[in-house]
């Protein structure tokens, strides 16, 4: 393993996520500019910025603020980032929650199986 590989391996996840996100945003802006036939200079003019500022954004190492992204979205009339709307909820396992009466968990589990269709209504105990 060479030193670059060692550094990559021990780099904290938060640094990796930041670099990945910033590069993804830069790529999205670059693609939108290409798609719309706009130059960096056009975007700079539309946003009242210096072209050098746009150039910095497209290097993928700029730390974007949300308000900057909003302004770019307005200038390009396209979304740059999307926020996930649905939330995946996972039920806790019985070992991870405190239930004074264990039979309550069994009842709850059966209800969940019934609701999610894993148990047929005919087999449901009333």
Partner 1 sequence: MNCVVILQLYKRFRRVNYYTFLIEAHDKTEAEKFFNKFEGMKQMEEDLNELATWIQVIGDEYGAMPRYFRFENEAEALPPYIEKNNLRLYVCRLSEGVVVLANGGIKNGLRVQDCEELMPHFGFANKMAKQLRIMMGRGEIKIKGKEIINHEEIVLNI
**Residue 81 and residue 17: Cα distance in Å, rounded?**
15
CB 43 within 8 A of CB 54: yes
CB of 60 to partner 1, least distance (A): 6
**What number of other Cβ atoms are within 10 A of residue 26's Cβ?**
19
CB of 59 to partner 1, least distance (A): 4
**Residue 95 and residue 83: Cα distance in Å, rounded?**
33
Kindly state the tokens that stand for 40.
Answer: 């960096």
Is 16 an interacting residue with respect to partner 1 (CB under 8 A)?
A: yes
CB 26 within 8 A of CB 33: no
Measured from the CB atom, the residue of 34 and 94 that comes closer to partner 1 is 34
Footprint (CB under 8 A) of partner 1, residues 27-86? 27, 30, 55-56, 58-62
- Give me the residues that bind partner 1 (CB under 8 A), please: 2-8, 11-12, 15-16, 18-20, 23, 27, 30, 55-56, 58-62
């Amino acid at each position: 393993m060479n030193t670059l590989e060692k550094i990559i391996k021990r780099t904290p996840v938060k640094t990796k996520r930041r670099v990945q996100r910033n590069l993804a945003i830069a790529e999205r802006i670059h693609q939108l500019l290409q798609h719309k036939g706009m130059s960096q200079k056009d975007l700079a003019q539309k946003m009242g910025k210096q072209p050098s500022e746009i150039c910095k954004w497209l290097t993928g190492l700029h730390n974007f603020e949300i308000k900057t992204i909003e302004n770019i979205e307005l200038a390009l009339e396209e979304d740059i980032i999307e926020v996930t709307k649905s939330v995946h909820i996972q039920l806790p396992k019985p070992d991870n929650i405190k239930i004074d009466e264990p039979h309550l968990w069994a009842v709850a589990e059966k209800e969940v199986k019934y609701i999610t269709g894993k148990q047929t209504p005919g087999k449901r105990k009333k």
